[in-house]
Structure 1
């Protein structure tokens, strides 16, 4: 299977001389039908500050939407968990983060490994939706293989996410089947959370945010509005704000500032 040239994962070791002598790891996850290209500028910005960064390519992504239709939430979570274990083995503290579905995966990591997480960073995460057609996915996935794509919801002109032009329905159904479990287990999260939310997002609606901020047990929650970006904010006009604010957040929660 041919992999998109921009879909290679990012793996950078820690530079503790830049982070007060401690090795700090950051796990980042791209979103549904996307690929590492949507997150690499963020990862590279954090790596330049001395943080170890792991940004894996989730199974079925960066190849074809047809291949992605043969993969599931368990596959994506498994790949992210392997990267998380690598970071834990090599660093003194680990922060997890993600965009869209990657945000949901990061939340799941934080739920399953609450005692090993220093902080959580999410950008326009998705664990719920108001869309009525979602209720029909169990039937639709057997009738049609895909819907039109959701990639490139970016306000900044000339920027390309390099995601799929079609949405694979079997994969989408698998993702959405995981949402209730992620939502139900949010009280397990005790680590600090920073939540970046675009004020105009054409992919993830407003149903997710109050579920996350209302259910997690952490008392350290910061919501950062992104007023000049659409869904893929990590490549949009507010990208530098995400990079700067997340770096300050990591330094604070890992006590390396």
Structure 2
């Protein structure tokens, strides 16, 4: 299936000592992270932004993928970057944050740190009905482009396939079950008003990881897709500060 131009994977920066893997969210694409990654590359880091399976094409393709596919792609990109750079950080938005935590669980000695923006580890209570609803209803309305800044789009799908959403819930459960295996430093950035992922999601990170250093940053003027919103510059500056402090 043809990949939209805006959704193409992105790599930048010269190979060096420090790399940063960026992982996008559910129904999103590398587009949501491109400016963040490009600014990080300009600061001297090697960056990689893969496209997760089923994204950037059609919701019909997303419908037949699941957490194993998304994690496998994330892990493949991580190992490729790790082969080039002895130190690798992982940054993730929304479901990309869950995948970043999964990498830190399974590659604890190789992930130097995590930068999480509105990480998704749970959803609103209505999602509990998904295992039944997915057998009755194929799709629901789009969950994308929760952005306060006017005239900005995430280029997310117009429909959300319930089968894939249910797969995401199972991914969340797997990640939550092993959060105590995460030991690396974490920069946790979350929107004061996130209409997609409830605040309990970042509370789960704070309560369950074993990291000794967690830096919290509240994003006061952004919706869920904060990397494209009013606080995008704050995300970049805090990320670069975090990378600088932990890559020495």
* TM-score after normalising by structure 2: 0.98
Contact 1:198 1:231 in 2 (8 A): yes
Matched length: 248
Tell me which residue corresponds to 2:84. Answer: 90
The secondary structure found in structure 1 opposite 2:241 is helix
Tell me which residue corresponds to 2:61. Answer: 67
Q: Find runs of 4+ consecutive structure 1 residues off by over 6 angstroms.
A: none
Whether 2:167 is the aligned partner of 1:168: answer no
Whether 2:149 is the aligned partner of 1:148: answer no
**Correspondences of 1:10-25 after superposition (within 5 Å):** 10-14=10-14, 16=16, 23-25=17-19
Whether 2:24 is the aligned partner of 1:3: answer no
CA distance in 2, matches of 1:221, 1:74: 28
Whether 2:209 is the aligned partner of 1:216: answer yes
Tell me which residue corresponds to 2:129. Answer: 136
CA displacement 1:63-118 (0-9 Å, x = unmatched): 00011000111001111111000111100200001000000000100110010011
Report deviation, 1:190.
Answer: 0.7
CA displacement 1:146-171 (0-9 Å, x = unmatched): 11011110011111110111111111
Whether 2:176 is the aligned partner of 1:189: answer no
Tell me which residue corresponds to 2:93. Answer: 99
Q: CA RMSD in A?
A: 1.0
Contact 1:14 1:25 in 2 (8 A): no
CA distance in 1, matches of 2:6, 2:132: 34
Whether 2:57 is the aligned partner of 1:48: answer no
Contact 1:198 1:230 in 2 (8 A): yes
- Give unpaired runs (5+ residues) of structure 2: none
CA distance in 2, matches of 1:89, 1:14: 13
CA displacement 1:121-144 (0-9 Å, x = unmatched): 100011112x23211111111111
Tell me which residue corresponds to 1:112. Answer: 106
Contact 1:15 1:50 in 2 (8 A): no
Whether 2:48 is the aligned partner of 1:58: answer no
* TM-score after normalising by structure 1: 0.94
The secondary structure found in structure 2 opposite 1:172 is helix
CA distance in 2, matches of 1:168, 1:14: 38
Identify the match of residue 200 of structure 2 among 207, 220, 229. 207
The secondary structure found in structure 1 opposite 2:135 is helix
- Give unpaired runs (5+ residues) of structure 1: 17-22
The secondary structure found in structure 1 opposite 2:147 is coil
CA distance in 1, matches of 2:15, 2:229: 28
